[in-house]
A and B are shown apart, each in its own frame.
Chain A
């Protein structure tokens, strides 16, 4: 079987699916002051698994929107205006859907794959671990 390290270099997805990989990448992002992008990515995954009939789900959708999207945070800056408008309108109309953050998550993931993930694989945090 692949070693964890071999999996980490395979894709961002495999890195984030591994506990040690995800935590090490998080430490790296904290240092780079962009840990919000990763927390947002995990929040989207967590949200997708929530029960739409649970009143908590709307509150979580609002919390995600408030924390990462409506302000001028690093996540918000990396999202397309249309994506943000779509989420804002869904929340306003209280039309909550499991996939309402999927587009935003995909956009954030692409940016992470192109930037942070590549930087991580050459960072001293990663190399020291290896």
Chain B
């Protein structure tokens, strides 16, 4: 099970803009 911090980081990263 992922830790809360990992889940939060994953959530933030998923919304960050990616290189085009």
Contacts and interface: CB of A to CB of B under 8 A. Distances in A.
A45 to B, nearest CB: 4
- Identify whether the interface residues of A are mostly helix, strand, loop, or mixed: helix
A16 B13 CA distance: 13
B19 A19 contact: yes
Contact of B8 (A17, A21, A43): A43
Given A50-B11, A63-B11, 18 more contacts: A16-B17, A18-B17, A19-B16, A19-B17, A19-B18, A22-B17, A42-B15, A42-B16, A44-B15, A46-B11, A47-B11, A56-B2, A59-B4, A60-B7, A63-B4, A63-B5, A63-B8, A64-B11
A111 B15 CA distance: 20
A80 interface: no
- Identify whether the interface residues of B are mostly helix, strand, loop, or mixed: helix
Contacts of B19: 19
Nearest to B11: A46
Interface of B: 2, 4-5, 7-8, 10-20
Contacts of A45: 15
B17 A56 contact: no
Interface of A: 16-19, 21-22, 39, 42-47, 49-50, 56, 59-60, 62-64, 66-67
Contact of A46 (B4, B12, B17, B18): B12
22 contacts: A17-B17, A19-B18, A19-B19, A19-B20, A21-B17, A22-B17, A39-B12, A42-B12, A42-B15, A43-B15, A45-B15, A46-B12, A46-B14, A46-B15, A49-B14, A56-B7, A60-B11, A62-B4, A63-B7, A63-B8, A64-B11, A67-B8
